[in-house]
Structure 1
Amino acid sequence: MAASPRILLNLGLDAVLGALAVPVAAWLASPGAALGAAPAHAAAAVAAGAALLLLAGLPFGLPRQYWRYAGPKEMLAVAGAAAIAAGLFAAGAAAIGLPPSPNAAFPAIHALVLAALLAGARGAARRRHVRPETAGTPTALLVGNGDAADLFMRALDRQRAPEFRVLGILARHARQAGRRIQGQAILGTVEEAESVLEQLRAAGRTPSLIVLADPDLQGEALERLLDAADRQGVALRRAPRPTALDPAARPGESGSRRIELRPVAIEDLLDRPQVPLDREGMARLIQGRRVLVTGAGGTIGGELARQVAALGPASLTLLDHGEYALYQIDLELAETHPAVTRRAVLADVRDAARMSRLIAEIRPDLVFHAAALKHVPMVENDPLEGLQTNAQGTRIVADAARAAGCRVMVFISTDKAVNPTSVMGASKRLAEMYCQGLDVAARQSGHGMRCVTVRFGNVLGSTGSVVPLFRRQLERGGPLTVTHPDMRRYFMTVREAVGLVLQASVVGAEDAEDRPPELRDGGIFVLDMGQPVKIVDLARRMIRLAGLRPEEDVDIRFTGLRPGEKLFEEMFHGQEPPRPTRFSGLMVATPRTADPALIGRAIDEVSAAARAGQTEVALAQLGRLVPEFDHNADGVAPHG
C-alpha cells in the first residue's frame, strides 16, 4: 500500500533534522573542530545521521505521528528514537575508525540534539495549530480526575470548532492541586469550587460554565458544587462519558464526533453511594432458576427483569397486562440478553383461573410480584380497581405460586402502606398482611413458599411520578405544579431500589444464623431511603439544573393536596419501629399480621364487594381490616 503524503512529509522532515543534528552535535562537542577528515567524510556522516534516524524511528512510529497533536506519548517515542539513532551512529563511526568528534561525550550530545530538534519541530507544529484565544470564546472550568480531564481535553482539542476552551481544572483530591494536565492548571478541589470561582471572578476570568468530566461525581458532592455554581451564576453541564468521547480518533478527520454537553440530571443529585451487595448470593438465588416477574412493563418490574436476566436464570417469564410496555421490555432483553430463555405473557393478575393455569405451566422457582395500581389519585378515582389489583391480585398470584411449588415470592410494597390515607396504600397494606401470614406459616412449618415483602418509597423517574411531570412542565415553559409547600417524599433511584430488593430476597430466602430474627414473626424488609426531600425544593432544583431561575424564569404553583395524599410519607408506624440489620441498606419491621386463611377470606369478601360495585361496603371492610387506614378522601391538609 502506498504511503500517505503525510507519512512521506514526516520522513523527509525527520531526515533533514537527523542530518542537521550531526554537525550541530559535533560543533557542541568540539567547537571549532571540523566534521570528519575530508568533505566526503562529513557528507557521509550527515547522510548516515539522516538514514539512522529514519531507521530508529520506525519501531517508535515516528513517520505516523501527527505533529500537531504531539503529546507526552509522542515525545517519549522521540526520545527513544533519538537515543537509538545516536547509539547506532556512534557504533558505526567507531567500527570504521572515523569518529565525528574527539570528545567522548559526543554520543550523548548527539542524542540530546536529536531529541531537541525532533521535539522542537513537533512542539512548533502543535503550537502553530493552537487556536488563538479570543474574547468571544466561552470558557469552562473542568471538573474531573486526571484521566477523565485528560480524555476530555484531548477530545476537545480534536474538534474543528470547539464551542469553549478550558481555563482550569477542579480535581477530586487535594493531592492533585497545583499540577497541570494538558497544560491546564489544577486550581483546587471540588470542595473549593466557590473560592476558586471567586478568585476567577476577581481576576476577570469568570468561566461561562462548569463542565463535569468525571462521571462518578454524584450525590451530595455534586449538590454542593451545583450550589456554588448557582451562587456564582455559572451554568453546570455534564460531559459525555469517557467511552463516548473521541480522544483517539484520527486527528483532523471530519468524522470526529461533536462533544454534546447535557444538563445534570436530578437523579445524579439524589443518587447515593452504592451499598455493598451480596452478588454471589443473588447469583446463587437466581442462576439456573425459573423466574416470573409480574408487572414487568413497569419501572420496578422492568428493572427487576434487567437485573435478573443479567444473573443467568434458566428462564425468565415477563408478565404484564399492558401490551406496549411488555413489548418494550421484551425487545430490550432480546437485544441485551439474547441467551436468556424468555417468554412475554399478556395477562391480568386478577384473573384467578388464568394465573393458576399459567403459573402451573411455568412452575417458577421465584416470583417477583411488582404488578400493582400505584398512582394514588387514579386509585382514588377508581378505588374498586385498586382493591381488585393490589389486594386480590396479590393473593391470586401468591396462591398460584404456592400451589405450583414456588420456592420464594417477593412482594413489592410501598411506604404508602404505613398509616395509609389512600385506598392505594391501604390495599397494599392488606396485601402485605396476607404475604406476612403465608411467610410466618412457611417458616413455622419448615416447608412451603417463603414470602419476602419489601417496602420502599418513590422511585425517581418512574411512570406517573413527579420527576417526569416536572420535566414535561419545564419543556412547556412552566409553571411547575406542587400540591403543598410542605409536601415531602422519600426518593431512590430504580437501580438502587431493585439492587436492594434482590439483596432482601437473598436474605429472606435463605435460613442462616445471621438472618434477622424478626422474619420468623412476619418481619418485612424496609429499604433505607435516607432523608425525605421537599417536593418544592426538588422543583426549584430541577429549574436550576435547566439553567433557569425559579420564580423568575419559571413559576412554581401550589395546587393543594389531592384525595388520598399525605404531606409526609412514613416508612414505619409507631408500633413497628425500625430495626437495622447487618445488611447495608436494609431495615426490618414487624407490622401486625394474622392467619393467612382469615386474611384470605377477608380479601375475598372485599373483592366480592368490589366486583358488585359496592364501593362503600368494600371500603368499610377495608377499614376494619386495616384499622390505621385514615382515608383522606377530600385531599385536606392536616393542621398544626
Structure 2
Amino acid sequence: MKFLNKRLIAIIHDAFMSGLALFMAIVARYGIDYLPPSQTIAAWIAIFVVISAIVFKFMGLGRGLWRFASLADLRAIVIASLASIVIFVLCLFLVTRLEALPRSVPVITWFIMVVLIGAPRLAYRAHKDGGLGRLGGIGKPAEGIKHVLLAGHVRDAEQAIRTHHLERSGLYKVHALVCPNASKSGHSIRGIPILGNVNELADLAKRLERSGAAVEAILSVTPRPPADFTKSLTQSAAELGIPVKRATPRPLDLSEPDFSELTIDDLLGRPPVKLDTSRMSDLINGRTILVTGAGGSIGSEVVRQILKYNPSRLVLIENSEFALYKIDQEVERRAPGLHRRAVIADVRDRARIHEVVQFEQPAIIFHAAALKHVPLVEDNPLEAIQTNLIGTRNVADAAVAAGAEGFVLISSDKAVKPTSIMGATKRAAEAYCQALDVSGTDTRFITVRFGNVLGSNGSVIPLFRQQIEAGGPVTITHPDMRRYFMTIPEASELVLQAAAFSVDNSNQRGRIYVLDMGDPVKITDLAKILISLAGLRPEKDIELSFTGLRPGEKMFEELFESDEENLPSGADGVIVATANLMELERIGHLVTDLQASTASGNVPLSIAHLSEIVPTLTNEKLEKKQA
C-alpha cells in the first residue's frame, strides 16, 4: 500500500511538473505582460496535464524508484515528455489549428519538462547517497569507509562501478583505476582518474596515505587480465602491502560488493573459449556414459560437466574407495534422480573392466584413470606401465567389445617427445588408441592432449601455497622452467568439446586433439604472483629456492611433435594434430610383450619394450634404469 501511494505521488508530481513546464514556456515566449487570456492558458494546461498523466501512466514513468534513478530513467523521461507534447500539439491542431500557440512553445516545454521531472529524482538519489557532496566526489568521506583502487580495462571498470554502485557506495571510496592500456592515462571514468602505468601506483598510494586515505585494497575488475600487467600489479601491490582482491555481490545486498580473494585461476590471461553446448548435449543427453578415474581431479570435473547435459545413466569407475564415495555423493546431490552406478575397480584388472563395460553398454567412455606424478612414476615405472598403458588397453578393448560409440583418452603434453616414464606411457597409450581408431572398428577413439591443470592432485599450485603458508622457501626446480596451464573446468569442458566434434567425424580418425593452452607460463613468475597474492614480497618475505631438474623432468613442455601437422578442428579451443601411426598388430604385440615383462617385475626389459613404442626413451634412460 505504501508503495502504491508513492507511485501515485510520483504520477501527480510528474503531471504537475508538466503543467508547470508548459506555463513557464508560455511566459518565456510571450513575456509576463503579453500573455494570452487566462482561460486559454488554463485550458491548454488542463489538456496537457491530462495527456501527460495518461502517457506517463502508460509508459510506466511512476514505477521507477527514485532511490535508484539512473540514465535509463532519464531516457524514459525524455521519451515520455516528447510523446506528451506531440499528442498535445496534434490535439490542438485538430481543434484550433494551433491558433495562438507559438511553434516554439512545445520545444521550450520539452526542455523544461525534462529538467523539472528529472531533477527531483536525481536530487533525491543524491540525498539518499549521502548528499550532493558525495555525488560530486567532494567533501570528507564518511567514517569507516574503505579506500580502494580498481585495476583492469576501462570497460570492465565501468561495468563494475555500475554493477556494484561504487559511485555511491557507503562502504568503499574508489580513488583511481590502474589500467593496462597506457594510452588511457590522464583520462577519467565516472570522475575516477585513470593510471596507465603500474609504476604510478606507488606515488598514488603515498599521496593518499598522507591525506589520510590509505589504500586498503586493489580491486581487480577484469577477468584474466594480461599476464604482464598481472605480474607487475601483484608485485607492486605486494611491495606496498596492499592486497589484490575481486568484487563479489553480497548474498542479501546486491548494491554493495564484498571483497573475495583473487585466485590464480583468475590470472591466466587467456580469453574464455566459446563452447558448442548443443553438440555437447547431443553427445551426452539421454545416453549411458562411463568415466574411469572418476574420483580424480580431472575425472571428477569431467563427471560434473557431464551432469550438465542430462545423461540417462552414469557409471563411475575408481580404484580409491574414498575418492569414489566423494564423487558418488556429489552426483547424488547434484542429480538425485539420475540412474548411476559407482564401481570399485582397477583398470589393470582386464576381466573386471570387461565385465563392467559389457554389462553397462556405455555409449561414450571417458578414460581419465592414470598415474601422472612424474618423479613418483619415475621411481615406480612398472606401476605406471600397468596403469597408463596396460590399463588403457584394457578399457579400450572393452569399449570395442561392447560396441561403444566413442572412447575418449585424456592424455598429457608430457607425451610429446617424452623423456620420462610417465610421458612415455601416455604416448604409448595414445599410439594404441590411434591404432584402434584407424583399424576399422565401429568405436571412435579420441585422444585429447593438454598440459598442467591448476589445482589438480599433485600440481605445483597447492605445493606453492603450502610453502608460502609455512613461511617459505618456495622450491622451484629451475629459474627458466615453463609450463602450459589450464583450469580444471576449462580442461574438462574442452575434453567434452573435442569429443562432441570428433565422435561422428570419421575423416579425423587417428588424429590427436590438442587443447589450446595459450602461452606457456614461467614457473618462477607463477610463484612470485602467488606470493604477491598472499600480500607478501617475493624474495624478501618469501625466498625462492632452485633445486635442479628432477628425474624425467623437462625444461619446456611441448604440445606437438616436430613432425606433427597442426590443423583447425572446427571446435573453438581445440587443435588437431596428425601424429605418427603404428599398425595395430605391431603395437598389440609390443604391448603384450611389455605386459609380460612388467608381470615378471623386470624393470630394464620393460623399459626396453616401452622404448620400442616410444623411441625418445634414450639409451641413457635405459642404462640408468638397468643400473
Instruction: Provide the residue aligned with 2:232 in structure 1.
Output: 227
Instruction: Provide the residue aligned with 1:213 in structure 2.
Output: 221
1:537 counterpart = 2:525: yes
Inter-partner Cα distance in structure 2 for 1:388 and 1:558: 33
Cα separation, partners in 2 of 1:342 and 1:145, compared to 1, 3 Å = farther
Instruction: Provide the residue aligned with 2:578 in structure 1.
Output: 588
**2:546 corresponds to which of 558, 573, 584:** 558
Instruction: Provide the residue aligned with 2:288 in structure 1.
Output: 290
Cα separation, partners in 2 of 1:23 and 1:415, compared to 1, 3 Å = closer
Letter in 2 for 1:155: H
Deviation at 1:405, TM superposition (A): 2.5
Determine if contact 2:231/2:529 at 8 Å carries over to the other structure: no
Instruction: Provide the residue aligned with 2:487 in structure 1.
Output: 493
Cα separation, partners in 2 of 1:541 and 1:30, compared to 1, 3 Å = same
Inter-partner Cα distance in structure 1 for 2:398 and 2:246: 49
Determine if contact 2:424/2:610 at 8 Å carries over to the other structure: no
Q: 1:124-143: per-residue Cα shift (whole Å, max 9, x none)?
A: 33444352554786243464
Cα separation, partners in 2 of 1:170 and 1:27, compared to 1, 3 Å = farther
Cα separation, partners in 2 of 1:224 and 1:102, compared to 1, 3 Å = closer
Instruction: Provide the residue aligned with 1:474 in structure 2.
Output: 468
Instruction: Provide the residue aligned with 1:316 in structure 2.
Output: 314
Cα separation, partners in 2 of 1:493 and 1:27, compared to 1, 3 Å = same
**1:259 corresponds to which of 257, 260, 280:** 257
Instruction: Provide the residue aligned with 1:371 in structure 2.
Output: 369
Q: 1:265-319: per-residue Cα shift (whole Å, max 9, x none)?
A: 3234335345677777656655554332111222222333344444555533222
- After superposition, residues 422-433 of structure 1 pair within 5 angstroms as 422-433=420-431
Cα separation, partners in 2 of 1:482 and 1:32, compared to 1, 3 Å = same
Deviation at 1:259, TM superposition (A): 0.8
SS for the counterpart of 2:58 is coil
Instruction: Provide the residue aligned with 1:66 in structure 2.
Output: 65
Cα separation, partners in 2 of 1:367 and 1:632, compared to 1, 3 Å = farther
Determine if contact 2:446/2:502 at 8 Å carries over to the other structure: yes
Instruction: Provide the residue aligned with 1:460 in structure 2.
Output: 454
Inter-partner Cα distance in structure 2 for 1:141 and 1:303: 33
Cα separation, partners in 2 of 1:543 and 1:585, compared to 1, 3 Å = farther
1:626 counterpart = 2:617: no
Determine if contact 1:155/1:245 at 8 Å carries over to the other structure: no
Inter-partner Cα distance in structure 2 for 1:540 and 1:147: 25
Instruction: Provide the residue aligned with 2:149 in structure 1.
Output: 140
Determine if contact 1:267/1:493 at 8 Å carries over to the other structure: yes
Deviation at 1:358, TM superposition (A): 0.8
SS for the counterpart of 1:258 is strand
SS for the counterpart of 1:106 is helix
Instruction: Provide the residue aligned with 1:249 in structure 2.
Output: none
SS for the counterpart of 1:585 is strand
Inter-partner Cα distance in structure 2 for 1:590 and 1:291: 29
Deviation at 1:23, TM superposition (A): 4.2
Deviation at 1:196, TM superposition (A): 8.2
Inter-partner Cα distance in structure 1 for 2:524 and 2:305: 33
Inter-partner Cα distance in structure 2 for 1:37 and 1:504: 80
Which runs of 5 or more structure 2 residues have no equivalent in the other structure? Answer: none
Instruction: Provide the residue aligned with 1:272 in structure 2.
Output: 270
Determine if contact 1:422/1:564 at 8 Å carries over to the other structure: yes
Determine if contact 1:300/1:370 at 8 Å carries over to the other structure: yes
TM-score w.r.t. length of structure 2: 0.77
**2:536 corresponds to which of 542, 548, 552:** 548
Q: How many residues align?
A: 598
Instruction: Provide the residue aligned with 1:119 in structure 2.
Output: 118
Inter-partner Cα distance in structure 1 for 2:436 and 2:193: 60
Letter in 2 for 1:551: E
- After superposition, residues 297-446 of structure 1 pair within 5 angstroms as 297-311=295-309, 313-333=311-331, 341-380=339-378, 382-418=380-416, 420=418, 422-439=420-437, 442=439, 446=440
Determine if contact 1:17/1:117 at 8 Å carries over to the other structure: yes
Cα separation, partners in 2 of 1:355 and 1:51, compared to 1, 3 Å = same
**1:598 corresponds to which of 586, 589, 604:** 589
Cα separation, partners in 2 of 1:103 and 1:404, compared to 1, 3 Å = closer
Q: 1:25-82: per-residue Cα shift (whole Å, max 9, x none)?
A: 33212212376746x8878877777666544432343434333432222112323444
Cα separation, partners in 2 of 1:118 and 1:526, compared to 1, 3 Å = closer
Deviation at 1:466, TM superposition (A): 0.6
SS for the counterpart of 1:497 is helix
Inter-partner Cα distance in structure 1 for 2:82 and 2:550: 78
SS for the counterpart of 2:536 is coil
Inter-partner Cα distance in structure 1 for 2:292 and 2:338: 17
Deviation at 1:361, TM superposition (A): 0.3
Cα separation, partners in 2 of 1:453 and 1:170, compared to 1, 3 Å = closer
Letter in 2 for 1:138: H
Inter-partner Cα distance in structure 2 for 1:83 and 1:92: 14
Letter in 2 for 1:344: A
Deviation at 1:550, TM superposition (A): 0.6
Q: 1:381-437: per-residue Cα shift (whole Å, max 9, x none)?
A: 655543432233223222322322234323223333455554434443444454445
Cα separation, partners in 2 of 1:592 and 1:272, compared to 1, 3 Å = farther
CA-based RMSD of the aligned residues comes to 4.6
Determine if contact 1:355/1:400 at 8 Å carries over to the other structure: yes
Determine if contact 2:536/2:542 at 8 Å carries over to the other structure: yes
Q: 1:85-140: per-residue Cα shift (whole Å, max 9, x none)?
A: 5567778889998x997645334333332322222323333444352554786243
Deviation at 1:598, TM superposition (A): 1.6
SS for the counterpart of 1:595 is helix
**2:162 corresponds to which of 146, 149, 153:** 153
**1:608 corresponds to which of 599, 624, 627:** 599
Deviation at 1:465, TM superposition (A): 0.3
Deviation at 1:571, TM superposition (A): 4.7
Determine if contact 1:318/1:326 at 8 Å carries over to the other structure: yes
Q: 1:168-203: per-residue Cα shift (whole Å, max 9, x none)?
A: 5859898x999986x447858xxx555986997999
Inter-partner Cα distance in structure 2 for 1:288 and 1:29: 74
TM-score w.r.t. length of structure 1: 0.76
Cα separation, partners in 2 of 1:557 and 1:134, compared to 1, 3 Å = farther
SS for the counterpart of 1:58 is helix
Inter-partner Cα distance in structure 1 for 2:344 and 2:355: 13
Instruction: Provide the residue aligned with 1:251 in structure 2.
Output: none
Cα separation, partners in 2 of 1:489 and 1:179, compared to 1, 3 Å = closer
Cα separation, partners in 2 of 1:495 and 1:283, compared to 1, 3 Å = same
Cα separation, partners in 2 of 1:34 and 1:337, compared to 1, 3 Å = farther
Cα separation, partners in 2 of 1:393 and 1:201, compared to 1, 3 Å = closer
Inter-partner Cα distance in structure 1 for 2:66 and 2:371: 63
Determine if contact 1:387/1:427 at 8 Å carries over to the other structure: yes
Determine if contact 1:319/1:347 at 8 Å carries over to the other structure: yes
Inter-partner Cα distance in structure 2 for 1:142 and 1:332: 36
Inter-partner Cα distance in structure 1 for 2:72 and 2:308: 39
Determine if contact 1:23/1:35 at 8 Å carries over to the other structure: no
Inter-partner Cα distance in structure 2 for 1:117 and 1:379: 77
Instruction: Provide the residue aligned with 2:26 in structure 1.
Output: 26
SS for the counterpart of 1:549 is coil
